[in-house]
Structure 1
Amino acid sequence: MTSDLYSGSDFYCDVAIPHPERLDVVHEDELVLAYHHTRPFWEVHIAVVPKRHIASLSSVTAEDGADMRALFQTVQAVAHAVETEHGAAGVLTNLGNYQDSKHLHIHVYSGPRC
């Protein structure tokens, strides 16, 4: 299943996290999932998400501390690997109306836009 066929509001809780076998996974542990984006905007495009639902970066609270530490450790490792392999990496998250899926996710990317 690709996200092109998905019409809900939280692709990560509904599809990605419960079905990582459908994805090209880069990293998975108890708290975080990172995978090659199903609708890439860049030549290299990896989505990194906490497995526990957190709506967005602007809604993070103190109780999300362990999830956020794990998320940022994974983002750092993935970004370092992308930078090492491709010479550059960007890290991006979206908020509000810019956020298509209402689940915190961070994009690690490199290369030209697709």
Structure 2
Amino acid sequence: MTSDCLFCRIVAGEIPATVVHETDATLAFRDIAPKAPVHVLVVPKAHYADVAELAKADPALAGQVLAAGAAVADAEGLTQDGFRVIFNAGEHGGQEVFHVHAHVLGGRPLGPMVSS
């Protein structure tokens, strides 16, 4: 855990979140500024700055994050009509919190890009 990391603090229970799915290694919770009717963030409980760092350091955990995203999509009823999983990496990639996280979005047609 990194004490100044927002998502580490959520994982530790220091900051409340609406949790929708949890495993031993991952936590999924609703985004506080949703870009779609369903917008859930999936994080590994261990701290990695971005998806590239996670994939290099622990490919199995990266797979668990993807599996958790699929479980969230299923639980939220998104699998029939479709959904999107997005990883933003780095400042130029639009990453705002530097703890790797997947965005699971759906619940409406999203088109080619997600807009604010």
Q: How far, CA to CA, are the matches of 2:55 and 2:74 in structure 1?
A: 27
Compared CA separation, residues 41 and 61, structure 1 to 2 (3 A): closer
Superposed structure 1 runs of 4+ greater than 6 Å apart = none
Which structure 2 residue ranges, 5 or more long, are not aligned? none
Which structure 1 residue ranges, 5 or more long, are not aligned? 1-7
One of 37, 57, 74 as aligned partner of 2:31: 37
Aligned residue in 1 for 2:7: 12
Percent identical among aligned pairs is: 30
| Contact 1:89–1:108 (Cα < 8 Å) also in 2 | yes
TM-score by length of 1: 0.76
Compared CA separation, residues 109 and 11, structure 1 to 2 (3 A): same
Which structure 2 residues correspond to residues 13-92 of structure 1 after superposition, within 5 A?
13-14=8-9, 16-19=10-13, 22-82=16-76, 83-84=78-79, 87-92=81-86
- Structure 1 position 39, deviation (Å): 1.9
TM-score by length of 2: 0.75
Q: Does 1:103 align with 2:99?
A: yes
Higher helix share: 1
- Structure 1 position 104, deviation (Å): 0.5
| Contact 1:9–1:100 (Cα < 8 Å) also in 2 | no
Root-mean-square deviation (Å): 2.6
